[in-house]
Structure 1
Amino acid sequence: MGHRFELHKDVELAATPEQVWEAIATGPGIDSWFMGRSEIEPGEGGRTRLTMAGHVEEATITAWEPGKRFADRTEPGPDGTFTAMEYLIEGRDQGGAVLRLVQSGVLGDNWETEYEAMKVGWDMYLGTLAAYLAHFPGRTAAPVSAFRPGAGGPDAVWAAVTRAFGLAGPVAEGQSVRLAVDGLPPIEGVVDLAGLPTYVGVRTADGLYRFLYSGAERGDALVLGHHLFADDQDPARAERAWQEWVTALPIG
């Protein structure tokens, strides 16, 4: 039986309402901070498409007020489940903006696990949005994803990831990171999101790198969702390299 839900999140952003709109209501903007690859048909009644791991989710745009409000809604599935998203942008007199997000709809039988995953996941994605607008204004990124289902328990997974970062002890924002991935230039940056045991983020001069652990109830998967801003990036090559890296990562 489906379960109705409503989730609220706010984030302060170092950007104008127009910049926030470009980030949340265009495909290239969304690709610069959110999961997968997005396409947007502008205007109320247009369609949005999110492609992730071969799965495509489509929704209909239900509100389109540039610089102010964007909303969409998926069609109900056979079991009645659907998701509606609403973004409200508020400018600030002192500069910057606040983005208010409301996600609602009906979840399936495993709704508690889904709800908790969304609640924590939004903290990572909105933190990534804030980093994107603060550090890469006016630019867009190529999204790169990789997956390792059944990676192991959280302690073993994060021990392996932090070893690869060159870190010892607790992970904290501001720590320097150096990571080697075969076939790619050395990655040097700082931890900019520390949300263990669920996620860690690293920011470099030309990228935002996100590492997400799904939890046992969602398959013990280690998911990589990176955003590459360098002009000379080869996203397909980078995706292959990251998939090989996460598959070969020694865990346990």
Structure 2
Amino acid sequence: MTDNREFEIVHDSEVPGTPERVWEAVTKGTAAWLFPNDDWESVNTVEEYPRHLVNRMEGPGGWFNQIETVMEPLEGGRAKLHYVHSGIFADNWDEQYDGASKHTEFYLHTLGQYLRYFDGQPVVFTDVQAPAASRTPDGFIKLKEALGVEGAAAGTSIDVDLDGVGRLSGEVDFSNENFLGIRTSDTMYRFFGRNAFGAPVGMTVHEFGGSGDSELTAKTWGAFLERVYSSN
């Protein structure tokens, strides 16, 4: 039995960028803080530059996925961001809503990190998934332990040598039970404890400056994640 119900996730925040820069990031620069959306079959139903954007995808049976972004200028080159994600979940409504709502805070935090530290720089995006063994209740805890950041709060400096990866020197910019963000001088690493939502642990790497190699990054971090969960 399907459970097709509408959902709405609302998030209000301030970000370190003008509405014009936020508009650029949410339309053309999503690979820098979210993931590439070049292949999305969506349309902008509202496009009032640089204040109001509504992007919508539709499918059979009334299915839709919509993101509305409203940007208001603030003093000091900042913007107030009103973000509304709405649509229809098919099946596992509670689990999908829980996952989507918690991801929203992390994604929009990452948008702020991009605007503050890397705005406008070329980016190479890489998505890496951990093996199925990471689905266990302690899957994300094991990853944090392997990274040497268990218990580290946002703002903590780190300098660790990871087997097969090399030195990781930077700052924990986000940390809770489901998500971890590490920012270095030229890269943002985003770690997702999706084991809490019935999926494997995952990560994305956003390498700035134009020198990233997605194939090498995927191979290096994929091997690291395999080692983390090889004993499961």
Structure 2 length-normalised TM: 0.89
User: Partner residue of 1:76?
Assistant: 59
CA distance in structure 2 between the partners assigned to 1:158 and 1:179 by the alignment:
19
RMSD over equivalenced CA pairs, Å: 1.9
1:179/1:115 CA distance change after superposition, 3 Å: farther
How do 1:76-225 and structure 2 match up within 5 A?
76-78=59-61, 80-148=62-130, 149-155=132-138, 157-168=139-150, 170-177=151-158, 178-180=160-162, 182=164, 184-196=165-177, 198-219=178-199, 221-225=200-204
Among candidates 224, 227, 230, match of residue 245 of structure 1:
224
The CA distance in 2 between the partners of 1:179 and 1:82, in whole Å, is 44
Range moving further from structure 2, 233-242 or 121-130: 233-242
Which amino acid in 1 is paired with 2:188? L
Q: Do the aligned partners of 1:154 and 1:213 also contact (CA within 8 Å) in 2?
A: no
The SS at the match of 2:45 is strand
What is the one-letter code of the residue matched to 1:188? S
The superposition leaves residues 103-124 of structure 1 with CA deviations (integer Å, 9 ceiling, x where unpaired) of: 1122112111111111000111
> Unpaired runs of 5+ in structure 1?
40-48, 51-57
User: Following TM superposition, by how much is the alpha carbon of 1:145 offset from its aligned partner in structure 2, in angstroms?
Assistant: 0.8
Cα distance in 2 for partners of 1:85, 1:4 equals 13
1:55 maps to: none
Contact 1:2/1:107, CA 8 A, preserved across alignment: yes
The residue identity in structure 1 corresponding to 2:14 is E
- Report the counterpart of residue 211 of structure 2 in structure 1: 232
Q: Secondary structure at the match of 1:137?
A: coil
- Counterpart in the other structure of 1:62: 45
**Which residue of 24, 27, 35 maps to 1:25?**
27
Q: Shift of the alpha carbon at 1:185?
A: 4.7
Distance 1:216 1:8, change over 3 A: closer
Letter paired with 1:229: F
Instruction: Return structure 1 stretches of 4+ with deviation > 6 angstroms.
Output: none
Partners of 2:153 and 2:126 lie apart in 1 by 24
CA separation of 1:179 and 1:114: change in aligned 2, threshold 3 A: farther
The Cα of 1:31 is off from its aligned counterpart by 0.2
Identity, in percent, stands at: 27
Alignment-derived partner of residue 42 in structure 1: none
8 Å CA contact 1:164–1:179 kept in 2: the answer is no
Q: Distance in 1 between matches of 2:122 and 2:161?
A: 23
Partner deviation per Cα, 1:154-187 (whole Å, 9 max, x = no partner)? 43x233222322235x2311222224252x5522
> How many Å separate the matches in 1 of 2:123 and 2:176?
23
Compute the displacement of 1:143 (Å): 0.9
Task: Say whether the 8 Å CA contact 1:124–1:195 is kept in structure 2.
Answer: no
Structure with the higher fraction of residues in helix conformation:
2
Using a 3 Å threshold, how does the CA distance of structure 1 residues 38 and 239 change in structure 2: closer, same or farther?
same
Is the contact between residue 214 and residue 222 of structure 1 (CA under 8 Å) also seen in structure 2?
Answer: yes
Q: Secondary structure at the match of 1:118?
A: helix
Q: Which runs of 5 or more residues in structure 2 are unaligned? A: none
Measure how far apart 1:135 and its partner are.
1.0
